[in-house]
Amino acid sequence: MSTLRNVDWQRVLHPVCDAIEAVYGVELEVDTDELAELERFADESLRSYRLTNPNAAKVAGHLCFWLRRLKPIRHAATSNAKLLAVNEVAALWLGLAICDQYFDNASAQSFKIDPRILKDWVASLRYNSHSPHALAIAFEILTGRKVE
């Protein structure tokens, strides 16, 4: 059964935050209470499909939405730089990471996204309106098998 409860969120976000810190020279903090809240809300919104086992793209979409909405990642007071869209970058990275491995069911084994489109997607996540269901569909389209 596809469940969010299996995922150790702290462990999952560590490599993402470490990489962001290294690339942008920032210092980050993650609120683990908010990760628990994120899991609860994603679990609830995924139930709207009435599926026992929603596919990876749907899970990715809902997690991406709640991560950029609840924003559990913050900059430490000692950070000398700020990536204002840090939660949005992490959310998109997490979503793509989930989709990346489920190549035999609604996802391609590997996919390349133009860096400009990736940047625009991050900006849109930060500044525009999104819904968990719209993000889920975006991941379905992005990672879906191409029709011949």
CA distances from 66 to 92, 104, 109, 134 (A): 11, 26, 25, 13
Residue ranges in contact with another protein by CB under 8 A: 1-4, 6-8, 11-12, 15-16, 19, 23-25, 48-56, 58-59, 80-85, 89, 93-94, 96-102, 104-106, 110, 112-113, 115-116, 118-119, 122-123, 126
Instruction: Give the phi and the psi of residue 18 in degrees, each rounded to 5.
Output: -60, -45
**Smallest distance from another protein to CB 38, Å:** 14
**Smallest distance from another protein to CB 12, Å:** 5
**Smallest distance from another protein to CB 15, Å:** 5
Minimum CB distance to another protein smaller for 11 or for 146: 11
Each as own residue / partner, the long-range contacts of residues 48-52 (CB below 8 Å, 24 or more positions apart, any chain) are 48/133, 52/1
Which amino acid makes up residue 122? V
| Other beta carbons less than 10 A from residue 31's beta carbon | 14
Minimum CB distance to another protein smaller for 16 or for 73: 16
